[in-house]
Structure 1
């Protein structure tokens, strides 16, 4: 990688802006042709995305207000990892906090960089099996979430019918459909 002719050299890095959930980082870089410039991107913690399946095969979904697009978004539970937390532990925690459901078992599905042109985000996607409601939600101060269940095929149809706008959720569902579903 160090010898790749496309590689940019990072000369300096600094945080330009900090807010809850992410920072905006500025890197001073030298491009392959020798040009020096700066590059800004979102710097955020790794996250998890969970496809929660009930024992009868329904999907536990959330409806959450998303300020950036000014609407309620229907998707899968997801959230940032905390400290040195393992991805699977974060998946169990986020599922419980956002939905009040717990899974009998959780399995890793894929890891992806969802927007590596503008962010250093890494998302670990999981499938949670035999999910059951066990407790009340434990939402963060800035979360407004409703929980629902939907039939798996109906949820899959929402991708095809352009009704599922959340890219993380669509990726998780399609990866599961292509690689895991019996």
Structure 2
């Protein structure tokens, strides 16, 4: 079995969202490689799929890639916070909707060749509108998008983030097909 071995690493940069480490990696043939690794806090995401098979999504701009797209409410999990509680908190803060009982949908590693970040996606079948979102600045708008449109939106590049693509295609499969 060809296994890369991490023989140790040290921090070269840290901030509240991530740490950049330099790892001494031994390749299967015995050679060594210096490899940068991003160590990240877990991310929790949530959406609701209503009785009409519409998912609550955010339309937002990402300055890093200078792109617009549909995404799920998401954010980092605070120290000591339960993943499901974090997902519910993020959905309420970013959409103004409080989700009903959440179900774990999937966990993805969006960039596991560079980072250890895990994104934990939850969904509910009900939600209660509480009011204008506390973090409304994070998105241009919040809408109920039919799951039936998801494959086309992914193909057109209107759903771009890996976690949203994976989650919404799986929800489409589970609820529509």
Indicate whether the TM-score tops 0.5: yes
Alpha-carbon distance in 2 for matches of 1:129, 1:96: 15
Alpha carbons 2:26, 2:33 under 8 Å: kept? yes
Q: CA deviation at 1:33?
A: 1.8
> Residues 54 and 112 of structure 1: is their aligned pair in 2 closer, same or farther, counting only changes over 3 Å?
same
| CA-to-aligned-CA distance 1:9-34 (integer Å, 9 cap, x gap) | 32221121223422222111222222
| CA-to-aligned-CA distance 1:121-143 (integer Å, 9 cap, x gap) | 11111112212321332339xx6
Does the alignment pair 1:45 with 2:41?
Answer: yes
Alpha-carbon distance in 2 for matches of 1:126, 1:22: 23
Alpha carbons 2:103, 2:124 under 8 Å: kept? yes
Q: Give the match for residue 30 of structure 1.
A: 26
| CA-to-aligned-CA distance 1:126-172 (integer Å, 9 cap, x gap) | 112212321332339xx632322223323443124443222211100
- Specify which of 140, 154, 161 is matched with residue 159 of structure 1: 154
Q: Give the match for residue 50 of structure 2.
A: 54
- Specify which of 144, 153, 171 is matched with residue 149 of structure 1: 144
Question: Which secondary structure state, in structure 1, belongs to the residue aligned with residue 7 of structure 2?
Answer: strand
> Residues 103 and 55 of structure 1: is their aligned pair in 2 closer, same or farther, counting only changes over 3 Å?
farther
Q: Give the match for residue 8 of structure 2.
A: 12
CA RMSD between the two structures: 2.2
Does the alignment pair 1:69 with 2:65?
Answer: yes
- Specify which of 109, 112, 115 is matched with residue 108 of structure 2: 112
Question: Which secondary structure state, in structure 1, belongs to the residue aligned with residue 102 of structure 2?
Answer: strand
Q: CA deviation at 1:67?
A: 1.8
The gaps in structure 1 that reach 5 residues or longer are: none
Alpha-carbon distance in 2 for matches of 1:134, 1:156: 30
Q: Give the match for residue 93 of structure 1.
A: 89
